[in-house]
Structure 1
Amino acid sequence: MNRSFRPLSRRAALGALIALGASAAAPAFAADPYPSKPIQLVLPFPPGGSFDPIFRTLAEAASRDLGQPIVLMHKPGAGGVTGTASLATMNEADGYTIAVMHNSVIRAPLVQKVSWDPLKDFSYLIGLAGLTTGIVVATDAPWKTLPELLADARKRPGAVSWGNVGAISINRIYAERLARQAGTSFNLVPYKGGSEAFQAVIGRHLDVYGDPGFGPQVQGGKVRLLATFTAERLKRYDAPTVKELGHDMVIESPVGLVAPKNLDPKIAARLHAAFVKAAADPAYLQQLELFDMQPKLMTGESYADYARAQFERDRKMLAEIGFKPE
């Protein structure tokens, strides 16, 4: 008998079994399929706007495929930039926090000082749809057409108030460009969200609102649509485009989803597949139609390519109009 061998005490044997069990369980835990807990979807605007019902129905559809709830989290601020930008400074990219991306976030470094890079600090997951920008006034407002509004604004420079969501949104920039082309100026008023702005224009506290999300208000007879910044007329409304009225301006504004940078490609692919499937959900498509948004699916790679190209287009456009960063 080998006298160097000594049986383990009961306590040591128990400790060895616990250690063995822990080591055996570790790979199983690491291999836990994604997702294994709820996912947070950051909406960078206040509750009550058009993004609320659109992304709520999309999240519900994607949740069914992923097998975990997708919880909407409103983080408004800086014209819809703050909430999405919060992901750019996150240290961990685990797929459990995603956010709505839109062009104001891509444009942000060109118009103000920020500590993050929209082209490097996000994982682009999917492009979803295009926003439609319209110019609306209250139904009892004196202007029946955009030319009437511009003619009045020329007589009273700076007197007509024009609202937008966010001081750096393309809709606000194009309102200023339109005023310059018309030989006048507007009193440009930034709002935190569309719900607040629509209440102001309907109550005649604001003269004009120029942003997406006007569909339900127009269809409900609460506001009058004077024109749209689309390439062609919208079939649903008898309203001209700004371009056909002599101002060569078309706004293309896609929205999509991003995660923090360095997201595991397998998790990104899982999220992309779930949202592609959700984007075909009838309830979601109905919401897009209600708010005059056009489905426009892009892969994460294509959406990232678009962001790079849009950043350069905005850089050029802002230089042409002499815009100086804040």
Structure 2
Amino acid sequence: MSKSRAWPIAALALAPMLLAAPAAHAAYPDKPVTIVIGYAAGGGNDVLARIMAEEMSKGLKQPVIVENRAGVASIIGAAYVAKAKPDGYTLFWGASGPISFNPGLYSKLPYSVDDFKPISLTAVFPLVLIANAELPAKNVAELVDYSKAHPDRANYGSSAASFQLVTELFKAKTGASFAHIPYKGSNESAQSVMAGNVSMAIVDPTPAMSALQSNRVRALGVTSAARTELLPDVPTLKESGIDLDVELWAGLLAPAGTPDDIVQRLQAEVARVTALPTVKKKFAAIGNTARSSTSKEFHDLIQREVPFWTKVARDNDIKAN
């Protein structure tokens, strides 16, 4: 056989091997995908994660399992995923707290933001400023004036360092004088406003809505740039003349080193799911807006937020440990 005829035969022999490699990689996922959440079952992030997981399993054609690894400020769950194999089968349900706030609040963490590869946002939500209805304050300006006139009586409740950071930023922007009273959960903070034990609190929408039903609190503002559909009559803080625009978020992250094509596949799936009307409705029912992003957009958001909130923590001497 001549050399000129041997080359095509060799090429034919290699062809199946060349085709097999990308086909094997394109098979992702070929087993269940686990989304680790650093919070207990039943909370807002847990509810959102399970809504996402149910729909993602349909598009990925594999079970998507939510695994709760609850611990202080979501640190246990974050550290677990940071050390997981970067193959797309173990993901982290990240949130503003563990990713954007914790680096400025803890002197030592068992993970860093560089241990993750952002996939996509999944949801955003504003916080709601609520005040006790018996206070002589019908709007934010009057609440600020009240705090300055009664610094011995004005105080606020917060259930986590992230809420404390946002409230301290509010104080810095307005010159308000509120003493900090810590609580174990947002519901407890809201109930304390209802009872008159604290003057005000900046909380997530769900406990705010529950408190508002009692008619013992007033919603004076939301922290987002635009009004929320959940409370369309409540002005933004910017509408009240305060230069403060804060939205907390949830999103999916993979361990650093996860291949780009797997991240892109997951990002596309998140975009599909968050665009579903049923998902939008379920998210809105608990005060969240379903929203996706590109991996780069998510990465850039984190890179902006970490130094910003670290500075707020340092300026106000807020530490979580």
TM range (shorter): 0.7 to 0.9
Contact 2:37 2:68 in 1 (8 A): yes
Q: 1:188 to 1:83 in 2, by over 3 A?
A: farther
2:87 aligns to what?
A: 94
Contact 1:160 1:187 in 2 (8 A): no
1:296 aligns to what?
A: 291
Which structure has the bigger radius of gyration? 1
2:130 aligns to what?
A: 136
Q: Greater CA deviation, 274-283 or 261-270?
A: 261-270
Deviations 1:266-315 (A, max 9, x none): 32222222221111222210123223333432111221122112223334
Shift of 1:31: 6.5
Taking the aligned partners of 1:261 and 1:49, their CA distance within structure 2 comes to 27
Taking the aligned partners of 2:316 and 2:298, their CA distance within structure 1 comes to 28
Taking the aligned partners of 1:286 and 1:174, their CA distance within structure 2 comes to 27
2:275 aligns to what?
A: 280
SS of 1:298's equivalent? coil
1:176 aligns to what?
A: 168
1:83 aligns to what?
A: 77
Contact 2:78 2:111 in 1 (8 A): no
Aligned residues: 295
Taking the aligned partners of 1:56 and 1:201, their CA distance within structure 2 comes to 31
Q: Greater CA deviation, 194-203 or 297-306?
A: 194-203
Are 1:33 and 2:30 counterparts? no
Taking the aligned partners of 2:96 and 2:291, their CA distance within structure 1 comes to 15
2:248 aligns to what?
A: 253
Q: 1:272 to 1:152 in 2, by over 3 A?
A: same
Shift of 1:211: 2.3
Letter in 1 for 2:305: Q
Contact 1:39 1:71 in 2 (8 A): yes
When you count helix as a share of all residues, which structure comes out higher? 2
Q: Using structure 2 for the length normalisation, give the TM-score.
A: 0.76
1:187 aligns to what?
A: 180
Structure 2 unaligned spans of 5+: 1-20
Taking the aligned partners of 1:40 and 1:72, their CA distance within structure 2 comes to 6
Taking the aligned partners of 1:158 and 1:75, their CA distance within structure 2 comes to 41
Q: Using structure 1 for the length normalisation, give the TM-score.
A: 0.75
Are 1:307 and 2:299 counterparts? no
Q: 1:205 to 1:59 in 2, by over 3 A?
A: farther
Let me know the Cα RMSD of the aligned residues. Answer: 3.4
Identity %: 23
Structure 1 unaligned spans of 5+: 1-26
Taking the aligned partners of 1:72 and 1:142, their CA distance within structure 2 comes to 46
Q: 1:32 to 1:243 in 2, by over 3 A?
A: closer
Q: 1:195 to 1:100 in 2, by over 3 A?
A: farther
Contact 2:154 2:177 in 1 (8 A): no
Taking the aligned partners of 1:220 and 1:313, their CA distance within structure 2 comes to 35
Letter in 2 for 1:255: A
Are 1:210 and 2:205 counterparts? no
Contact 2:123 2:292 in 1 (8 A): yes
Deviations 1:145-178 (A, max 9, x none): 33444344334436445333421x1x32131233
